[in-house]
Structure 1
Amino acid sequence: MTSPGPTVSVIVPNYNHADSLPLTLPALLAQTHAATEIIFVDDHSTDDSLRVARSLGVPVLSTPRNSGPSVARNIGAARARGEILLFVDSDVQVPPDTVERVVRLLRDDPDAGAICGTLDDTPLVRDSLVQECRCLQAHYWRISALGDVSFLFSALCAMPARVFAELGPFHEGLRQTEEVEYGERLSARYPIRLTDAIHGRHRDDHLLWPLLRKVFHRCRLRMPLYARRRRAAQGFETAARMWGSVTAFLATLALPLPLLLGPVGLAPSLALAVAFVASDAGMYRFVLRRRGPGLLLVFLGVQWLLNLAIAGGAAAGAVQWLTSRSFRGLYDGGPQPRRVPA
């Protein structure tokens, strides 16, 4: 391994991913461009993460209590000595040339505030069909948004340490959506590049109900930020995909119509179902090409439920925003970027 050029600190926040660490940490230790250090920050896991990380030869930092990924990332960044900070979630396995590619990308693009990577369409561990569907969606949404984004894809991203020092730490009051808030702060000053030149295999949620619950709450918690800026994030949050959630919700409401109106009641449901598929037709064609019609049917069902969770989260967040002053101020009080002399 060689390590010419700038120094790189790899920061790995972790919470209860002991089963993934034997795959993810050795990949970081086997890089063609050796990282200056790997900083593993365990957020008070209740599984065997500490023992596994130490057995693999990785030094461990621990939070005094479970505090969320913002705190773990900030602890890692505060200890980092590298000129580049590379954040890699503990359930993401990267190829051996990832650090080398990060160094080259930031060297060739000195204006970039951050470089974010994509997630592969195949899970790190193939636990369930739900996970297969989730990884396909996450992969397609990212490759369809390559370029400048306003959303920090924090599962796999790198930035110059000087930029992190200027922007300040992740908002520690946010246990979820912290990457959205940080991306807004960062993209106001520097471009955030989303590229498939760096990528990794992710062990995503494999159980349906926890996945739906997570999507619901993440969407709910984003509403104060969206209301403040009056737009969605630049990138994969397209207007068509938002309409996809609306049509999934309306089509579900229309399901009883055939029972009430007879055959004529099928028309609204069918029209809304067609609109739902059309809202992200490229993704469904992609899944059909990659996995065939059998998985596509499962994928459509999972996407339908995910879009219902998105619509429900948005509705709940809108009501909460209208009725709760503290919810409207959810993103207040975060770190302020340091002034940089002109």
Structure 2
Amino acid sequence: MFRPTLGRVRTLSVIIPATDQPTSLERAVRAVERANFPPEQVIVVDRPAGIVSSAARNIGARKAEGEILVFVDADVEVHPNAFERIRAAFDEHPELSAVFGAYDDEPDGGSLVSDFRNLLHHHVHHEGVGPASTFWTGLGAIRRNAFLELGGFDETVSWIRDIELGMRLRGNGGSILLDPSIQGKHLKRWTVASMVETDIFRRGVPWLRLVLEGRADPTSLNLSWRHRIGTGASVLLVAAIARRNLRLATTALAGLAVVDARFYALLLRRGGPRMLAAGVPLHVLHRLTAVAAVPIALAEHVLEDRAGGGARRAARPEQRPRR
């Protein structure tokens, strides 16, 4: 079981994976260097080209010298006080193993879809403030000895490798905090197609696969009662529209308005009526992708088991308990 070393945090090593040569890298690095109380070490991993981001982060972690590893995505522009708040989190909570933040509510995506998507992520993290059972590498920090004891990121997991790491950390006795005051601006450009692909194949299916393998808690992530009701209302709304049932559609919309009132208020506040008008159907689509991911994940799980999936699961990184 991991037990942190008590005492004041002294050194941070920032790790930015950039093996896909992102155009936003310069902005991301410049924001890190100009921040208050900047990190003692900045590692940009841009080689070898084409490797998965988790492998790049593992390479950076092996080169890091700081007590705390701070993972920052190459499309995130950290706020000036981000590292100050990270240091404060570990100083104020000596038992803490890891902490992660959130996107701000002023995204720079350049389109309605991009702004919606980034505001959704901002909202989800603000709703989940406090102790967490997962991790996030968009802007997240973890004690280096805890990271190394876990064997780093599991490069055999498809996507959501940060979430999987957080679950292993919690299972090994670590403490994780979601502090949305640690913020960065997301620079990613989204389209409806990239949103759907990400939600189904890069998040929904991989996470459900972890649940089916017994490696993830099905009550974690976005499975609060609000999410369940919202998903049900979204399915009901589509069914009502298909049947041209105005009363049923009105009921479904009313349900969405109740359970997602805070998020829709955020959309209206940050983007006005135009953002709200675009955001509601995009949010329904986001919810429907979670439903679509279920049969795909089940099919993949069954097919892998029939093909001898035990070999893949045996290749997971070894957790090295502290003696």
Question: In structure 1, what is the Cα distance between the partners aligned to 2:261 and 2:72?
Answer: 31
Q: What one-letter code is carried by the residue in structure 2 that aligns with 1:195?
A: D
Farther-moved stretch of structure 1 (162-171 vs 227-236)? 227-236
Contact 2:96/2:176 (8 A) holds in 1: yes
- Which position in structure 2 is the counterpart of 1:186? 169
Q: Where do 1:213-228 residues align within 5 Å?
A: 213-217=197-201, 218-227=203-212, 228=214
Runs of 4+ in 1 over 4 A off after TM superposition: 326-332
State which of 36, 52, 64 in structure 2 corresponds to 1:80. 64
Question: How big is the shift at 1:282?
Answer: 2.0
State which of 47, 52, 56 in structure 2 corresponds to 1:68. 52
Q: What one-letter code is carried by the residue in structure 2 that aligns with 1:206?
A: W
Q: What one-letter code is carried by the residue in structure 2 that aligns with 1:30?
A: R
Q: Deviations over 1:91-149 (max 9, x none)?
A: 101123322322221122111110101111222x3421101101111111111110011
- Which position in structure 1 is the counterpart of 2:32? 28
Question: How big is the shift at 1:222?
Answer: 1.2
- Which position in structure 2 is the counterpart of 1:135? 118
1:101 counterpart = 2:85: yes
Matched residue of 2:241: which SS? coil
Q: Which consecutive residues of structure 1, in runs of 5 or more, have no partner in the other structure?
A: 43-61, 259-264
State which of 279, 295, 306 in structure 1 corresponds to 2:286. 306
Question: How big is the shift at 1:235?
Answer: 5.1
1:8 counterpart = 2:12: yes
Question: How big is the shift at 1:25?
Answer: 0.8
- Which position in structure 2 is the counterpart of 1:337? 319
- Under a length normalisation based on structure 2, what TM-score does the superposition of the two structures give? 0.88
> Structure 2 vs 1, CA of residues 233 and 69 (structure 1 numbering), >3 Å: closer, same or farther?
farther
Aligned-pair RMSD on alpha carbons? Answer: 2.3
Question: In structure 1, what is the Cα distance between the partners aligned to 2:197 and 2:126?
Answer: 25
Matched residue of 1:26: which SS? helix
Q: Deviations over 1:72-102 (max 9, x none)?
A: 1000001111111111111101123322322
Question: How big is the shift at 1:193?
Answer: 0.2
Q: Which consecutive residues of structure 2, in runs of 5 or more, have no partner in the other structure?
A: 1-7
Residues matched between the structures, number: 311
> Structure 2 vs 1, CA of residues 121 and 274 (structure 1 numbering), >3 Å: closer, same or farther?
same
> Structure 2 vs 1, CA of residues 107 and 78 (structure 1 numbering), >3 Å: closer, same or farther?
same
- Which position in structure 2 is the counterpart of 1:50? none
- Which position in structure 2 is the counterpart of 1:91? 75
Matched residue of 2:61: which SS? helix
Question: How big is the shift at 1:305?
Answer: 1.5
Contact 2:18/2:25 (8 A) holds in 1: no
Q: What one-letter code is carried by the residue in structure 1 that aligns with 2:264?
A: Y
- Which position in structure 1 is the counterpart of 2:153? 170
> Structure 2 vs 1, CA of residues 38 and 16 (structure 1 numbering), >3 Å: closer, same or farther?
same
- Which position in structure 2 is the counterpart of 1:262? none
Question: How big is the shift at 1:233?
Answer: 5.4
Q: What one-letter code is carried by the residue in structure 2 that aligns with 1:254?
A: A
Matched residue of 2:113: which SS? helix
State which of 206, 209, 219 in structure 1 corresponds to 2:190. 206
Question: In structure 2, what is the Cα distance between the partners aligned to 1:230 and 1:82?
Answer: 30
1:247 counterpart = 2:233: yes
Q: What one-letter code is carried by the residue in structure 2 that aligns with 1:40?
A: V
> Structure 2 vs 1, CA of residues 288 and 38 (structure 1 numbering), >3 Å: closer, same or farther?
same
- Which position in structure 2 is the counterpart of 1:160? 143
Matched residue of 2:182: which SS? strand
Question: How big is the shift at 1:154?
Answer: 1.3
Question: In structure 1, what is the Cα distance between the partners aligned to 2:25 and 2:106?
Answer: 18
> Structure 2 vs 1, CA of residues 327 and 94 (structure 1 numbering), >3 Å: closer, same or farther?
farther
What percentage of aligned pairs have identical amino acids? 27
Q: What one-letter code is carried by the residue in structure 1 that aligns with 2:87?
A: V
Question: How big is the shift at 1:158?
Answer: 0.7
Q: Greater RCO between the two (CA within 8 Å, min separation 6)? A: 2
- Which position in structure 1 is the counterpart of 2:3? none
- Under a length normalisation based on structure 1, what TM-score does the superposition of the two structures give? 0.83
1:122 counterpart = 2:122: no
Question: In structure 2, what is the Cα distance between the partners aligned to 1:111 and 1:194?
Answer: 14
